[in-house]
Each structure stands twice: as structure tokens, then as C-alpha cells.
Amino acid sequence: MPQSKERHTTLSAHPFRVGHPAGSYRIEVHRGKEYLPIEETLTTGSEPVQRAFRLRWWIDMTSRGWFSGKLIFIGASSDRPM
């Protein structure tokens, strides 16, 4: 990105604030392959701006019979069936 001075990544399950000078900023929001990305230009001035982004699925993999293969077992090894 030739015009970019800085690039930031934030992962947050909660609302957050970003302090920066007034101007135009390109916002990109992504969450894996199942969701449509959001790309927006946000223009700020002297007053605070509040913005919420809601990602939408482009495909519902669960309805097609696909489930994540990530398995986690927490417990003593003697509790695990062999």
C-alpha cells in the first residue's frame, strides 16, 4: 500500500477506541473465509465518531453438514478413552 504510513490489526470481542488525527481512513474488517469482508472509508473530524461493523456469512457451512474439526480435550490423560 504505497499511501499507507501504518498498518494496524486489532482482535477484540469488546468495543474499543482508537485515537488518531482527523482525516480519512480505510477500514477493513475480515473474519475468515465464511464471512463477507467489509471495506469502508471513514472520515473523522474534531468530534468522536462511533461505528459498528456487522459481518455477514456468504455461506452457511453448518447447514451444508460441515462442522469445524477443531477438538479440544481438557483433563487428565487417564480420563481419555484409548
One digit per residue, pLDDT tens: the chain, 82 residues?
566 666 667 777 788 788 888 999 988 888 877 889 999 999 999 898 888 889 998 888 888 888 776 666 666 666 666 5
Quote the domain boundaries for residue 27: 1-82
* Whole-angstrom distance, CA of residue 27 vs CA of residue 10: 11
Look at the alpha carbons of 72, 75, 78, 81 in this order and tell me if their dihedral is positive or negative: negative
pTM over 0.85: no
Q: What is the maximum alpha-carbon separation in the chain?
A: 63
Instruction: Give residue 45's pLDDT.
Output: 92
Number of compact structural domains in the chain: 1
Instruction: Give residue 7's pLDDT.
Output: 67
Instruction: Give residue 4's pLDDT.
Output: 63
Instruction: Give residue 57's pLDDT.
Output: 86
